[in-house]
Amino acid sequence: NIYTHLIGFLLFAFMTFYIVHEPPTPLAFGQHQVDMLRATVAQRAATLGNAVGLPAMREGLHSVSERVHSMQEGLSEDMHWIQDGMHTIFDPHALQELYAKAVSDSLCWPTPRWPAYVYMCGAMLCLLLSSACHLLGCCQPHISQMVWRLDYAGIAILIVASFYPAVFYGFMCQPYLLAFYLASTTLLGVGAVAVSLMDRFQAREWRLVRAFMFTALGLYGIVPVMHQWRMLSSIPQVRLALQYDMLMGATYVSGAMIYAFRVPERFFPGYFDLFFHGHQIFHVAVVAGAWIHLHAVKLMLEWRDASGGCALPVTHDVVSGVFAQMRDLGHDLFSVEEVVSRLQAMAHMHVHGAAGGAGPAPGAPPA
């Protein structure tokens, strides 16, 4: 029991180091994908004219044309105001900020890594606490009671941490759903940790209660998983990740049931006192389930990286297949800098086109 989770801790520590240093998956963007983003960027850029006051300046130009002959004394004031506004439009620094805002609303690369790190830290904390608790559980009663509480708290932390990357990467483009699922999961986890630290919870007769509480906390994950399935089931990469998560859930639940019902030692007393008893099988199931979920996390992270966050989700194949198809068709992959540069150029042309369309009405003085 000590070494199963100690080995698991070292395994996840290595994988955390690997993920930190692993370069992000490239964008699956060529010229075709950038052209598809044109409408999205155009919608964002359309708001730029309002941001710098183009409609108001257009009305000002119209006002000048009507009042030029009858209100000569007010002409100078209006023209100065319009010139100041046009200076704002063509200020390169102001435009750069507006372009950056329009592009950042559509493109995010690389995808935030912190949800994956939350999961890795939760897994390492759970496994390390479990290993330490089984090492110190044979000490004096007051020490034993304290360490077993930490063991149960570590299980709750692992379950909650497992939700974070799955929920974040699945609902990244739905901020309200994202906030709801993360908040509800965190609150349930805090409640489970609080119950785990109670004195009564440590009693032997509460064995089944402990097992079913952690099982119920894990089963809550079915809610966001089914929601993701309904929203994203057409995406192969997401389907594969959800299948991994279903396997993870089955592994966790099976291990918990084996532990709760003391299989196989209840059927063969004395034969499994040292090896392969239910508690050890549960430990192996925890490490295996956490490892399976890690692969699901990597799939979702890879998909979001290749899709530019919420910009243009890869929908017709797994990411590796998309890259292979683009290479076979002779499409060059753009770096994020190239994509941003092209999108900025589109926004620049849109804004200047809007400004050019707001020319003075007939009869107005020349610019």
What tokens does 276 get? 């392969």
What local confidence, expressed as pLDDT, does residue 115 receive? Answer: 96
For the chain, domain boundaries: 2-31+112-316, 38-106+339-357
CA distance 115 to 112: 7
Is there a binding annotation on residue 32?
no
- Name residue, tokens 């974040």: 168
Lowest mean pLDDT among 99-108, 190-199, 255-264: 99-108
Torsion of CA 361, 363, 364, 366, to 10 degrees: 110
What local confidence, expressed as pLDDT, does residue 130 receive? Answer: 94
- Name residue, tokens 């430990």: 283
Q: Is there a cis peptide before residue 264, judged by omega within 30 degrees of 0?
A: yes
- Name residue, tokens 């007010």: 74
> Which pTM was predicted?
0.76
* Closest-CA residue to 290 (of 110, 130, 114, 183): 130
Of the pLDDT bands very low, low, confident and very high (cuts 50, 70, 90), residue 315 is: low
Is there a binding annotation on residue 283?
yes
> How many CB atoms are closer than 10 A to CB 228?
24
| Angle, helix 92-104 to helix 38-51, in steps of 10 degrees | 140
Percent over 70 (pLDDT), the chain: 67
**Greater confidence, 347 or 251?**
251
What local confidence, expressed as pLDDT, does residue 9 receive? Answer: 95
Model confidence pLDDT, tens digit, residues 275-285: 899 999 999 99
* Closest-CA residue to 111 (of 339, 297, 335, 304): 304
2-31+112-316 CATH fold: Rhopdopsin 7-helix transmembrane proteins (1.20.1070)
Question: Is 361 in a helix, a strand, or coil?
Answer: coil
Is there a binding annotation on residue 279?
yes
> How many CB atoms are closer than 10 A to CB 229?
16
- Mean pLDDT (the chain, rounded): 79
Percent over 90 (pLDDT), the chain: 34
What local confidence, expressed as pLDDT, does residue 365 receive? Answer: 44
What tokens does 61 get? 């130009």
